[in-house]
Chains A and B, each alone.
Chain A
Amino acid sequence: MRLWPWSWERRKQELSEELQTHLRMTIEDHIARGETPDQAHAAATREMGNLPLVADTTRTYWGWETLERLVQTVRYTLRQLRRSPGFAITAVLGMALGIGPVVAIFSMIWATFLAPLPYPNASQLVVVWNHYKGERVPTSGEDYAQLAAQNRSFQSLSFQSWIVVHLTNPDHTADEEGGLPVTPGMQTKTVGQPLLLGRDFLPDEGSPGNEGVVILTNWLWQHRYNSDPNIIGKSILIEDHPYTVIGVMRAGPHEKGGGITFNVPIRFTPGEQSQQIGIMIGRLNPGVTLAQAQAELSTINDQIAAHHVAHLNKSPFALTVEHFRNDWLDLKTQRNLWLLLIAVGLVLLIACANIANLLLARGTSRTQELAVRSALGATRRQVFMQLFTESLTLALFGGIIGIAMGWVIMKLSLVLLPNLALESTDTMVQMNLPVLGFSILIALLAGLIAGCAPSWRSAHINQSDALKQGSRAAGRRGRTPLQSALVITEIALSLVLLAGAGMALHSFWNLSHIDVGFRTDHVLTALLRSRNNGPGSKSSSVSSPEEASVQQHQLLDRVRQIPGVADATGATGIPMNGFNTFPFQLAGQTADKAHMPTADFEAVTPSFFTTFAIRLVRGRFLGEEDQPQSPRVVMVNETFVRRYLANADALNQRLLLRIPDFRRAGAGPQQMPPPLEFQIVGVFHDVLDNEHLTGDVQPEMYVSEWQVGWPFFWIAVRTLGIEPEIITTTLQRTVSSVMPGAAIDHVRTMVQVMEQEQSSDRFEMILFGAFAAAALLLAVIGIYGVMSFAVAQRTHEIGVRMALGAQRTEVIRLIVGSGMRLSLLGLGIGLAGAVILGRLMHATLYGVQVTDLTSLTAVTALLFVAALLACWFPARRSATIDPIQALRNE
C-alpha cells in the first residue's frame, strides 16, 4: 500500500501532526513549570530543533525518498518540457522517427521468426522439404507412402497435396474456392488442432470410392455457410462431385494458408503409382532430433531411388527436415527483413545522437539553472538523475508516438509484400504485447543512450564558474568535442544507410531493366483447366483429337472477337512460368543415350509470337501454313544456338524429337514414341522462361500446336487500348461457352507476374529508401542544430572578428569550414561502414558489385550537399550579425 503516492501523503501528514503534538506537549510542560507562553514556545522549539529537517530525515528512514524524488523529478520534468514546447516537440518527434521504423520492422521479425507457434508441442512439428539441385521441389505421393510406412522417427507424417481442387455450385455462378487434398490425421494428429465441429478423416478415407468427405476451414464455414451449426452431414459440390461435410476447423493461423479453404482426404498405398505431388508435414516422436529424422528419411529416400533406377545408390533428391515455422515469407524477403532491422537500428542510433545533441545544447543553455540548483544543495547525483529523467521521459513519449507511427509504417509496408504473403498478413503481423513491450524497452534504451553523456556532462559543471559568468559560460567553447563526435556519428551512420538504399535502388533498376524478351504490357494469361479433374474422375469431355483441335481453334477465334482483344494464343507453357527439360538429338549425329542434350520444349499456336511480341533473329516464325500434313518445323532461341549449334548454320539443321502422340487414343505411357524430324525454320530472341526473373534462360524449342496436337493449358491474350484485366470475366464466359467442362484459373497479367517477381526487391528498396530518407532528415537536422547553436554561442566572437575587420565571406567560410570538417570525417567513416553493409547486402542484390561505386558516389555526393546546406544556413545568419549589437549584448 505504501507504494502509492496518496498513501505517502497521508503518512507525511500524520508525521507532521505527530510532531506538532510533541511540540505542543513540550510547550505545555514548560508552562506547567511556570514559564510564560512565549518563553515556553522558544524553549520548546530550541529543544526540538529544526522540525522540517526532522520530518525529512524521518522520511529518509522510511525509505520512500528515492521513489518520492522520482515522482518529484518527473513532475518537474513535465513542467520544464511544457515550458519549452519547441524543444519538447522536436525531441519527441525525433525520437518517434527513430523508434517507429524499429517497431514496424520488429513486428514483422516477431511474426516471422520469433512468435511461438500456436500448436501443442510445436517443437515436434516439422516440414520435410524435398530439394533438387538446391531448389525446393514437391515430393511425390509414392515417395511419401514409402517414407510414411518405413520411418520410425515420426508420431505422424502427413502429406499435403499441391494440386488444388475447387468448390463449385451447380451452375458455376458463385466464386470458386480452392482446397487441398491431405492425408487423414493431418489436422488433429500432426498439427494437433482439435476440430470445432465433426471429426477428422478416418484412416481409410481418401482411397478410391471412399473420398467424398470434406473438412471446412472456419473461414469458409463462416463466410460461405453463415456459420451453419447443422453443416455436418450436408453435401457440397467439389469439382462437380458431391462431398459430405464431416468437420469444421477452429479459427486460427493454421486454417488458411495460400487461399486454401477446405481439405479433402487422400490416401496412398506403398508401391502404388500416384500423380500426386505435395509437401510433407510431420510430428516427431518425443526426443527425436531434426538431424536424426533427416538421416533416417534420407536413407529411406536413397533406398527408394535405388529401387527405381538400378545404378543409382543415392537419390538425386535431398530431403531436409526443418522446424515448422511461420513460413509465410519467401527466403529472400526474410533475409531482407534482417537487413532492414539493421537499417532501422541505424536510424534509431541517429535519432539518439540527435536527441543527445539537443540535450547537450539545452544543458549548455541551462548551465545557470543547474548551477543554482546545485548551489541550493542538489547533489551531482540529483542533477544527473533529473537530466536523466528528462531524457527518459522524452524517450517514453517518443516511444508512444513511435509505436503509433510504427503501426502505420507496418501497415504500409505490408502492402508492399509479395502477393502470396498478403493473404495472411492480418493474422500474422500484429501489434501484440511482445511487440509493444519490446518497443517500450527500445524507447527506454534509446533514452538511456541519448541521455547518458549529456546528463553526466551537465552534472559536472563547475558551479562557481557558471554562476560568475552567466549563461554564456559553457558557450565560450562553442561546439564541444562531444557534440562534434555526435555530428560525425550521425553523418557516418546516415551515409551507411543511404549507401544501403542506393544499392537497393541500383539493384532494383537493374532488375526492372532485365531483357525478358517479350512485351509485358497488355497481356493477360490464364491457366485452362478441366472442371472435372477432381480425385476419382479422369473423364474428358472431348473424345477425338480432331474434335479437340477444332475446339481449340474455335476458342481462340471467339476470344479474338472480344472487343479490345488484339490477339490470342494457346500454349503448353508461357514465359516466366518455368521450363521443362526435354531430350532431343541433332539429325545426322549419333546419340549418347545416357547424356542426351535437353532443352525447354513447348507447343504453341503461331499467334504466340505476336501475342507476346517476341523478336525474330533469323529465318521465320511458325505460321498458320504449318499444318499437320506439311513438313514439321521448330523454332529455337539464341541460347539454343549458342549452346548446341555454335559451329553450324542453325537454319540448315533438323532436330529429332520423340513426341508422345496425344492424338492417338490409348497410347500407353510406357511406349516409346518414334523420333520425328523437325526442320529449324527460325531463331528468336531469348525469352525468359525461368520463373525467376534473375534466373538463366534455357535453350528453347517451340513447335506448332497445330502440328503436334498437344492439349494446351495456357491461353494468353494481348489487348489493344484497354487494360487486360478488364476482359477477365468475358474471357471466363467465352471459355465456358466453347468448352463447357473447362474453367480458367491463375488469371494474371504479365505486369502482375513481373511485379510479383520484383516484390521482394521492391519491398527492400522502398523501405530502405524510406529509412535512409528519415536518416538523412535526422542527420541534416542534427548538423543544422549543432551549427546554429555554435553560431549562437559564438555571436560575441563573431562580433569581435567583424569589428576587427573580418569580411562576411570569411565568417561564412569559418563557420562552414568547421562544420564541413566534421562532415568529411563522418563521410570517411561512413564509407567504411557502407563497404561492410555492401558485403552483407550483396546476396540480396542483382547486378550490383560488392563495392558499388555508382551508388556510393551518388549518396556521398548527396550527403555532402545536404551537409553543406545545413552548415551554410546558420553560417549565413552569422554573417548578418551586427557587430555593435553583438558586443553590446554581452
Chain B
Amino acid sequence: MKASESYRNRIEFLQGTLDMLILQALQWGPMHGYGIAQSIRLKSSEILQVETGSLYPRSAPTRATELVKSKWRLTESKQRAKFYETTPKGKEQLASDHKRWQQMVQAIAAIMEPGKEQT
C-alpha cells in the first residue's frame, strides 16, 4: 500500500510535465516505452530518470488514448514491442503544454532571479 502511494505521489508531482516530455519524445516518430524512457534520459543528460512505474501509467492506452495511439511492431532487433505514436490531438496538446511550460519557466525565473529579468 505504501509503495503504491509513493509511485502515485511522484506521478502527481510530475503531473503535466511528464505527459509533455513523452509527447516531445514521440515528436519524431513512433517509439516503444523503453525508447521513450531512454530518449528522455539521454536528452536530459541523464538528469531525468523516467521510472517504469511513472511511465506506463501515463502512456498506457486508456488515459492518454486521445493523445497517443499504440501498435505492436517488431523492433530493429526483431523483438515484439508496443510502439506509441502521437495523434493530431496529441500534437495540439504538446504545443499548448509547451507554451504553458515556457510561461511557467519565465514566471518562476522572474521570481528566482529578479536581476536578470530587468536587464
Which residues in A have some Cβ–Cβ distance to B below 8 Å? 2, 11, 14-15, 17-19, 21-22, 24-26, 28-29, 47-51, 53-58, 60-63, 377
Contacts and interface: CB of A to CB of B under 8 A. Distances in A.
Interface string B18-51: 0000000000000011100110000000000001
Nearest to A378: B1
A15 B51 contact: no
A26 B34 contact: yes
14 contacts: A14-B82, A21-B32, A21-B33, A21-B81, A25-B75, A26-B34, A47-B52, A48-B51, A57-B53, A57-B57, A58-B56, A58-B57, A60-B57, A63-B63
A58 B81 CA distance: 18
Interface in B53-91: 53, 56-58, 60-63, 72, 75, 77, 79-82
B52 A57 contact: no
With a 10 A CB-CB cut-off, give which of A48, A49, A56, A61 has the most chain B CB atoms: A61
B80 A19 contact: no
Contact of A19 (B7, B8, B38, B52): B52
Interface range, B side: 20 to 34
B18 to A, nearest CB: 13
B106 to A, nearest CB: 31
B51 A49 contact: yes
B79 A21 contact: yes
Contacts of B57: 57-58, 60-61
Contacts of B119: none
A50 B60 contact: no
A47 B51 CA distance: 7
Contacts of A56: 4
B3 interface: yes
A61 B64 CA distance: 10
Contacts of B3: 50, 53
Contacts of B79: 21, 24-25
Contact of A17 (B4, B37, B60, B80): B80
A19, A24, A50, A57 — most chain B CB neighbours (10 Å): A57
Contacts of B56: 15, 18-19, 54-55, 58
B53 A18 contact: no
B4 A53 contact: yes
A58 B77 contact: no
A435 to B, nearest CB: 40
A49 B53 contact: yes
A29 B7 CA distance: 25
A22 B33 contact: yes
A377 to B, nearest CB: 6
Given A21-B81, A48-B52, A50-B3, A63 B33 contact: no
A21 B34 contact: yes
Given A58-B60, A62-B63, A63-B62, A25 B34 contact: yes
Give the 6 A-B CB pairs with smallest separation, nearest first. A25-B34, A61-B57, A62-B62, A54-B53, A48-B52, A22-B34
Given A21-B32, A48-B52, A54-B52, A61 B63 contact: yes
Contacts of A58: 56-57, 60
Contacts of B80: 17, 21
B62 A61 contact: yes
A14 B33 CA distance: 13
Nearest to B81: A21
Contacts of A50: 3, 53
Given A17-B80, A18-B32, A58-B60, 7 more contacts: A48-B52, A49-B53, A56-B4, A57-B4, A57-B7, A58-B57, A63-B62
B82 A18 contact: yes
Contacts of B52: 19, 22, 47-49, 51, 54
Contacts of A54: 7, 52-53, 56
A26 B33 CA distance: 11
Contacts of B32: 18, 21-22, 25
A18 to B, nearest CB: 5
Nearest to B34: A25
B33 A61 contact: no
Nearest to B77: A28
Contacts of B77: 28
A49 B38 CA distance: 16
Contact of A53 (B38, B53, B60): B53
A61 B60 contact: yes
A25 B83 CA distance: 14
A58 B61 CA distance: 10
A2 B61 CA distance: 11
Nearest to A18: B82
Contacts of A11: 61
A775 B80 CA distance: 65
B34 A57 contact: no
Contacts of A17: 80, 82
Nearest to A63: B62
B87 to A, nearest CB: 18
Contact of A18 (B38, B51, B81): B81
A1 to B, nearest CB: 12
Contacts of B58: 61
A29 B42 CA distance: 13
Contacts of A49: 51-53
B46 to A, nearest CB: 12
Nearest to B57: A61
B39 to A, nearest CB: 13
Contacts of B33: 18, 21-22
Contacts of A21: 32-34, 79-82
A57 B8 contact: yes
B55 to A, nearest CB: 9
Nearest to A24: B79
A243 to B, nearest CB: 73
Contacts of B81: 18, 21, 25
Contact of B60 (A25, A62, A377): A62
Contacts of A18: 32-33, 56, 81-82
A66 to B, nearest CB: 13
B34 A377 contact: no
Contacts of A63: 62-63
Contacts of B38: 29
B6 to A, nearest CB: 10
A50 B34 CA distance: 16
Contacts of B82: 14, 17-18, 21
Contacts of A25: 32, 34, 75, 79, 81
A813 B58 CA distance: 68
B34 to A, nearest CB: 4
A160 to B, nearest CB: 65
A94 to B, nearest CB: 37
A377 B77 CA distance: 41
B94 to A, nearest CB: 20
Most B CB within 10 A of own CB, among A14, A17, A25, A28: A25
A517 B61 CA distance: 87
B77 to A, nearest CB: 7
B42 to A, nearest CB: 11
Report which residue of A18, A50, A55, A62 has the largest number of chain B beta carbons within 10 angstroms of its beta carbon. A18
A53 B4 CA distance: 7
B72 to A, nearest CB: 8
B1 A377 contact: yes
* Residue among B33, B37, B38, B57 with the highest chain A CB neighbour number at 10 A: B57
Contacts of A55: 56
Contacts of A24: 79
A54 B3 CA distance: 10
A140 B72 CA distance: 85
A574 to B, nearest CB: 81
A61 B38 CA distance: 23
Most interface-central of B3, B33, B37, B56 (chain A CB within 10 A): B56
Q: Name the residue among B52, B77, B82 with the largest chain A CB count within 10 angstroms.
A: B52
A8 to B, nearest CB: 11
Contacts of B61: 11, 62
A869 to B, nearest CB: 51
